[in-house]
């Protein structure tokens, strides 16, 4: 699904990712953990195509294509989804309108007919119920005036509707109280599937109490310094990043 | 006065000399003041950022050809509206639609001009004088006390490309009795290639508790000049809701003067300049808080592309003794081209001490973070950009009571939900 080889990325001439390699297969959930400033969010942003990140070396292949050569919208239509750490407020653009435009952009790309308003609303309502999002949400602008928890639920709702092949969730757990964390985790678990992969970027082990990853990687200094199973997250929680990173010799 | 202005004044005086006019006394005062004050002949400060030179250099025909009665297929329409149409400044009754409910009266102002000039006197400035001199046709609308008009009134001045570039000086008089309510769309539009000069004077009086929703819309073509003076007097507890919309391609100057004359009077103003090509739009707004406990809000926005230019003069004058008032004004502009330009000029004159006044202005480009967010959801760059621009613009026009007006302005760019649109 995703193959990252020796990826090097700079922001404003400052190297952030310094040779990161990672392989993600369909059906897998990977957690990428690391201290602040380790490059976690940079990795998520680069995979989604945000501007301002300069690719200085290495390669990223997604389903056999050179991912970095694609525009952000082309990546989205190919099934890559970024759940934002800080979802953007867009006053005046209606939530449901964006959902419909996004879904139809993908469907057109795949040569499928656009959903009519009725089918679309049925789909949205079903997923909103699942995510415990109130009806009033339909009439609100994208993320405008949403609490931190509402914004993250909205990201997951978008993901549930768009059904990506590869979801990258950037600190989706930050700023969530325990109830919201459970709802968001339920949304993530609902998408677990043999033909889908997910990358959870997180600072804390907390999310992994609710979503069980297949692999955990520790990112430090722009590289993955340790990889392991879900028990690695426990170790991080118990010993802190300092010990784990030092032990890895980074 | 510049030589060009003197030449323009002479040309207008010659053109209208001896012509039949519905209000001879008003025309005579206009001629005298035009000769004395010249053009523009108003407060020089309010003209500092708009050059009338191009307008003054142009010569316009003053006698319209007979109006074609066929409805131009591109004539903008509003479903359910009571419509009156003037083509090249002349009434076009064949294009009118629907009649008013009982208790409301609309008439050709030239046939019953009682009270005309009370709020916009010929002595106000050169263009008011010119209007008084050249006035031929207009609209009167009066509602009896307590009458609430369900249907909007659409007053349309249409410029047809079949006519030579004409000067016309329409007047509108709107009087709402106590607790009456109406929605009025004052609309100037034309074929893209139509030119001309519309120099309008609009006088509005709201009695106690009346509510007027007023939409002033300009969609004139690139060769058109539009100058309108709008004067509103608001009595006790009356409310004026205004939407000023510039979405044409010509030269537009609007002077809106609102007197909040008695306690409880409120004005809530929204403005949008949707500037493309070489649109020049100047909105000069003055809100006069003449009485205590009056309230005003002005929120204007501009989206400027190409070589468009917008000027916002936001004046607030608080009279001595007008305590307990609130006055807020704000402008936000999205500059989408390096050649586009905006000038915002708040002007506050406050002679009372217990007041709350605020103003703010911001100028920016498209939010790159929002653009990326939309693209990351599969919208291509152009679609994402158009959506952000339209949503910024739409937010300038909340609560528009006549949805059809938004369709004229936004060229069908949809930002609303399929739910909200059908609910």
pLDDT in tens, B21-55: 999 999 999 999 999 999 998 778 889 999 899 99
In a domain, B411, yes or no: no
Contact (CB<8Å) B381/A120: no
Q: What pLDDT digit, counting tens, does each position of A231-243 carry?
A: 998 888 888 888 8
In a domain, B210, yes or no: yes
Question: So what's the pLDDT on residue B420?
Answer: 38
Q: What pLDDT digit, counting tens, does each position of A87-137 carry?
A: 999 988 888 889 999 999 999 999 999 988 889 999 999 999 998 888 888
| pLDDT over 70 percentage in chain B | 95
* In contact, A7 and A21? CB cutoff 8 Å: yes
Give me the domain span that covers residue A225: 2-247
Using the predicted structure, report yes or no on whether residue B418 has a pLDDT greater than 50. no
Report, as an integer, the average pLDDT of B63-69.
67
**pLDDT interval class at A175 (50, 70, 90):** confident
Question: So what's the pLDDT on residue A248?
Answer: 64
Kindly report the backbone phi and psi dihedral angles of residue B401, in degrees, each rounded to the nearest multiple of 5, phi listed first. Answer: -75, -10
In a domain, B388, yes or no: no
Please name which of B203, B186, B100, B202 lies closest in space to residue B143, comparing C-alpha atoms. Answer: B100
Question: So what's the pLDDT on residue A93?
Answer: 87
CATH number of the domain at A77, please.
Answer: 3.40.50.300
Give me the domain span that covers residue B351: 3-368
Q: What pLDDT digit, counting tens, does each position of B132-157 carry?
A: 999 999 999 999 999 999 999 999 99
Report, as an integer, the average pLDDT of A208-212.
91
In a domain, B375, yes or no: no
For A50, the closest of B372, B377, B422 (CB atoms) is: B372
Q: How many CB atoms lie within 10 A of CB B385?
A: 17
Residue of B nearest to A93 (CA): B415
**pLDDT interval class at B69 (50, 70, 90):** low
A10 touches chain B (CB under 8 A): no
Distance, in Å, from the CA atom of B408 to the CA atom of B391, rounded to the nearest integer, reads 15
In a domain, B293, yes or no: yes
Report, as an integer, the average pLDDT of B81-106.
91
Question: Nearest C-alpha of chain B: how many angstroms from A106?
Answer: 7
**pLDDT interval class at B421 (50, 70, 90):** very low
In a domain, B34, yes or no: yes
Number of domains in chain A: 1
A165 touches chain B (CB under 8 A): no
**Which parts of B58-168 fold into alpha helices (H)?**
126-134
**pLDDT interval class at B64 (50, 70, 90):** low
Number of domains in chain B: 1
Contact (CB<8Å) B380/A71: yes
Question: So what's the pLDDT on residue A205?
Answer: 85
Question: Nearest C-alpha of chain A: how many angstroms from B337?
Answer: 21
Question: So what's the pLDDT on residue B423?
Answer: 28
Using the predicted structure, report yes or no on whether residue B413 has a pLDDT greater than 70. no
**Which parts of chain A fold into alpha helices (H)?**
40-48, 72-77, 95-109, 117-131, 148-162, 178-190, 231-247
In a domain, B207, yes or no: yes
The per-residue pLDDT of chain B, averaged, comes to: 91
In a domain, B423, yes or no: no
User: Hey, what are A69's tokens?
Assistant: 């050569």
ipTM over 0.90: yes
The per-residue pLDDT of chain A, averaged, comes to: 91
For B415, the closest of A77, A81, A92 (CB atoms) is: A92
Using the predicted structure, report yes or no on whether residue B397 has a pLDDT greater than 90. yes
Question: So what's the pLDDT on residue A249?
Answer: 52
Q: Which of A93, A105, A136 to mutate: most B Cβ within 10 Å? A: A93
**pLDDT interval class at B101 (50, 70, 90):** confident
Q: Are strands A166-170 and A197-202 parallel, antiparallel or unpaired?
A: parallel
Q: What is the DSSP letter of B97?
A: B
**pLDDT interval class at B417 (50, 70, 90):** very low
Helix axis angle, A148-162 to A95-109, nearest 10° = 30
Does B40 sit behind a cis peptide bond, omega within 30 degrees of 0 on the bond before it? yes
Sign of CA dihedral B369, B301, B403, B162: negative
Distance, in Å, from the CA atom of B86 to the CA atom of B25, rounded to the nearest integer, reads 24
Q: What pLDDT digit, counting tens, does each position of A9-42 carry?
A: 999 999 999 999 999 999 999 999 988 889 999 9
Question: Nearest C-alpha of chain B: how many angstroms from A16?
Answer: 20
Interface of chain B against chain A, CB under 8 Å? 367-370, 372-381, 383-384, 387-388, 390-392, 394-395, 414-420, 422-423
């Amino acid at each position: 699904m995703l193959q990252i080889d020796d990826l090097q990325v700079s922001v404003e001439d400052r190297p952030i990712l310094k040779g990161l390699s990672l392989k993600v297969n369909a059906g897998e959930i990977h957690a990428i953990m690391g201290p602040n400033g380790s490059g976690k969010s940079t990795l998520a942003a680069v995979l989604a195509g945000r501007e301002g990140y300069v690719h200085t070396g290495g390669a990223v292949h997604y389903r056999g294509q050179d991912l970095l050569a694609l525009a952000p919208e082309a990546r989205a239509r190919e099934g890559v989804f970024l759940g934002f750490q800080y979802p953007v407020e867009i006053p005046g653009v209606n939530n449901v309108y964006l959902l419909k435009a996004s879904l139809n952009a993908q469907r057109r790309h795949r040569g499928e007919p656009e959903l009519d308003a009725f089918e679309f609303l049925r789909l949205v309502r079903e997923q909103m119920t699942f995510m415990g999002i109130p009806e009033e949400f339909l009439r609100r602008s994208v993320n405008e005036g949403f609490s931190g928890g509402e914004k993250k639920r909205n990201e997951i709702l978008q993901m549930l509707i768009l059904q990506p092949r590869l979801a990258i969730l950037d600190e989706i757990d930050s700023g969530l109280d325990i109830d919201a964390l459970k709802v968001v985790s339920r949304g993530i678990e609902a998408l677990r599937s043999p033909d889908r992969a997910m990358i959870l970027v997180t600072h804390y082990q907390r999310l992994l109490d609710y979503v069980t990853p297949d692999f955990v990687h520790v990112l430090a200094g722009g590289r993955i310094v340790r990889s392991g199973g879900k028990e690695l997250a426990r170790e991080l929680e118990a010993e802190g990043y300092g010990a784990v990173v030092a032990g890895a010799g980074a | 006065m510049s030589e060009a202005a003197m030449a323009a004044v002479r040309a207008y005086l010659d053109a209208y000399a001896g012509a039949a006019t519905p209000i001879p006394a008003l025309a005579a005062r206009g001629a005298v003041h035009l000769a004395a004050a010249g053009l523009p002949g108003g407060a020089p400060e309010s003209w500092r950022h708009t050059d009338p030179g191009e307008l003054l250099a142009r010569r316009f025909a003053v006698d319209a050809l007979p109006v074609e009665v066929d409805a131009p297929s591109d004539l903008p329409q509003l479903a359910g509206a009571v419509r009156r149409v003037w083509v090249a400044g002349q009434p076009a009754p064949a294009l009118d639609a629907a009649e008013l409910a009982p208790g409301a009266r609309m008439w050709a102002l030239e046939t019953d001009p009682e009270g005309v000039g009370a709020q916009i006197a010929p002595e106000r400035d050169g263009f008011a004088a010119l209007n008084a001199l050249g006035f031929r046709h207009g609209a009167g609308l009066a509602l009896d006390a307590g009458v609430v008009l369900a249907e909007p009134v659409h007053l349309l001045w249409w410029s047809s490309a079949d006519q030579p570039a004409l000067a016309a000086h329409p007047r509108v008089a709107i009087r709402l009795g106590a607790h009456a309510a109406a929605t009025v769309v004052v609309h100037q539009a034309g074929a893209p290639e139509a030119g001309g000069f519309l120099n309008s004077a609009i006088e509005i009086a709201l009695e106690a508790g009346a509510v007027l929703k007023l939409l002033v819309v300009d969609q004139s073509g690139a060769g058109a000049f539009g100058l309108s003076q709008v004067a509103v007097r608001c009595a006790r507890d009356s409310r004026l809701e205004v939407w000023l919309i510039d979405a044409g391609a010509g030269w537009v100057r609007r002077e809106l003067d609102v007197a909040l004359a008695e306690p409880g009077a409120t004005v809530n103003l929204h403005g949008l300049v949707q500037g493309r090509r070489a649109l020049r739009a100047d909105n000069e707004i003055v809100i006069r808080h003449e009485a205590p406990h009056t309230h005003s809000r002005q929120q204007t926005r501009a989206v400027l592309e190409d070589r468009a230019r917008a000027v916002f003069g936001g004046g607030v004058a608080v009279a001595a003794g007008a305590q307990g008032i609130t006055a807020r004004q704000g402008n936000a502009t999205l500059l989408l081209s390096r050649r586009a330009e905006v000038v915002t000029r708040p002007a506050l004159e406050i002679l009372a001490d217990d007041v709350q006044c605020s103003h703010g202005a911001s100028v920016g480009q498209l939010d790159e973070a929002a653009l990326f967010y939309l693209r990351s959801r599969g919208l291509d760059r152009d679609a994402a950009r158009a959506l952000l621009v339209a949503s910024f613009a739409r937010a300038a026009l909340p609560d528009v009571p006549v949805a059809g007006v938004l369709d004229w302005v936004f060229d069908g760019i949809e930002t609303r939900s399929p739910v909200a649109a059908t609910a």
